[in-house]
């Protein structure tokens, strides 16, 4: 959780843009009210769209499948402010498995009518809007574990703190940028955008368990033979030689 309250951050944002909390926004509304209601929440949403931080990734273990039911809404899954589905695990005694996520286009092309297949233990899922379809269609009740990233809780009260951990400064900087954008002061917005991106990249580097594995470079078999300056005297010379094709002199 954050340390500064909503109204403390609002004061910092208004000070940074050179306005008092009682200043007037372009619409004629108090700037403080606009920052409280919109700009600070937009800052949170911008950060969440860019990256899913650990503190906003949660685990849901209360959902169980329904026999012969293919589709489940996010509400039925028990997800709170879900941004996406990270993973779905089927918890079934000794045969627990992580379901494979399939793209909607691939799923519809391969299985246009899932009901035509035998019902059984699901092995894959596809997201369609704010719901998921399981395949195979469950033939019984199965416990699940769903891990997913959330959208942050919107600010609504004066003493509320952010869901983000150790990111109050980043949130204030992003709120300043959003405020400058709303005030149509684009030069200042550009300056704070650069500052925000630097701090955001720093915050992302703190998270150390990024899903990564080394990638080997492919072997290039396209260029073989001699790269000689005299290809006419080199039987192994190729068209990649910079002197290939020049007349003998």
Nearest to 113 by CA among 136, 91, 84, 146: 136
Q: Specify the pLDDT at position 249.
A: 42
Q: Specify the pLDDT at position 18.
A: 78
Q: Is the pLDDT of residue 171 over 60?
A: yes
Give a three-class secondary structure readout of 131-167. EEEEECCECCCCEEEEEEEECCCCCCCCCCECCCCCC
* pLDDT tier, 88 (very low <50, low <70, confident <90, very high otherwise): very high
Tokens of 189: 């917005």
Q: Is the pLDDT of residue 27 over 90?
A: no
Q: Write the pLDDT tens digit of every residue in 104-139.
A: 999 999 999 999 999 999 999 999 999 999 999 999
* pLDDT tier, 140 (very low <50, low <70, confident <90, very high otherwise): very high
Q: What are phi and psi of 172, to 5 degrees?
A: -65, -45
Torsion sign across C-alpha atoms 161, 165, 168, 174: negative
Mean pLDDT confidence for 237-247: 55
Q: What are phi and psi of 134, to 5 degrees?
A: -100, 145
Q: Write the pLDDT tens digit of every residue in 31-60.
A: 888 899 999 999 999 999 999 999 999 999
* pLDDT tier, 231 (very low <50, low <70, confident <90, very high otherwise): low
Average model confidence (pLDDT) across the chain: 86
State how far the Cα of 69 lies from the Cα of 119, in Å rounded to an integer: 10
State how far the Cα of 223 lies from the Cα of 18, in Å rounded to an integer: 62
Q: Is the pLDDT of residue 216 over 70?
A: no
**Long-range contact pairs involving 244-248 (C-beta distance under 8 Å, separation at least 24):** none
* pLDDT tier, 248 (very low <50, low <70, confident <90, very high otherwise): very low
Which one has a higher pLDDT value, 18 or 194?
Answer: 194
Q: Is the pLDDT of residue 20 over 80?
A: no
Q: Specify the pLDDT at position 176.
A: 96
Report domain extents, the chain.
6-53+164-206, 57-149
In contact, 36 and 9? CB cutoff 8 Å? no
């Amino acid at each position: 959780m954050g340390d500064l309250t909503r109204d403390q951050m609002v004061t910092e944002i208004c000070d940074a843009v050179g306005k008092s909390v009682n200043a007037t926004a372009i619409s004629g509304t108090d700037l403080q009210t606009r920052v409280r209601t919109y700009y600070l929440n937009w800052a949170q949403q911008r950060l969440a769209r860019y990256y899913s931080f650990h503190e906003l990734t949660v685990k849901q273990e209360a959902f169980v499948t329904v026999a012969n039911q293919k589709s489940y809404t996010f509400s039925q899954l028990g997800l709170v402010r879900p941004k996406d589905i990270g993973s779905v695990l089927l918890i079934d005694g000794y045969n627990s498995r992580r379901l494979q996520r399939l793209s909607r286009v691939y799923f519809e092309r391969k299985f246009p009518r899932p009901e035509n297949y035998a019902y059984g233990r699901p092995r894959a899922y596809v997201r369609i809007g704010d719901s998921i379809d399981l395949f195979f269609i469950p033939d019984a009740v199965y416990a699940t574990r769903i891990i997913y990233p959330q959208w942050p809780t919107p600010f609504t009260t004066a003493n509320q703190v952010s869901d983000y951990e150790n990111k109050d400064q980043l949130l204030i900087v992003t709120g300043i940028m959003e405020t400058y954008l709303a005030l149509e002061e684009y030069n200042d917005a550009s300056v704070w955008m650069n500052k925000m991106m630097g701090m955001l990249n720093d915050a992302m580097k703190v998270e150390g368990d990024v899903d990564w594995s080394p990638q080997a470079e492919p072997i290039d078999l396209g260029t073989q033979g001699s790269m000689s300056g005299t290809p006419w005297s080199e039987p192994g010379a190729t068209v990649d030689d910079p002197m290939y094709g020049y007349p003998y002199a």
